[in-house]
Amino acid sequence: MNKINWKRKLSSRKLWAALLAWLTSLLSAFNVADTGAQFIVLIVSGIGSLCVYILAEGLADCNRAKSDSKFDEVIAEANRLRNNDE
Handedness of CA 18, 12, 8, 68 (dihedral sign): positive
Q: Which pLDDT tens digit goes with each residue over 9-57?
A: 777 778 877 887 887 777 777 775 566 666 767 777 888 888 888 888 8
Enumerate residues 6+ apart whose C-beta is below 8 A from 72: none
- Rounded Cα distance between 58 and 68, Å, is 15
What is the pLDDT at residue 57? Answer: 85
What is the pLDDT at residue 82? Answer: 75
What is the pLDDT at residue 1? Answer: 56
pTM, rounded to two decimals:
0.47
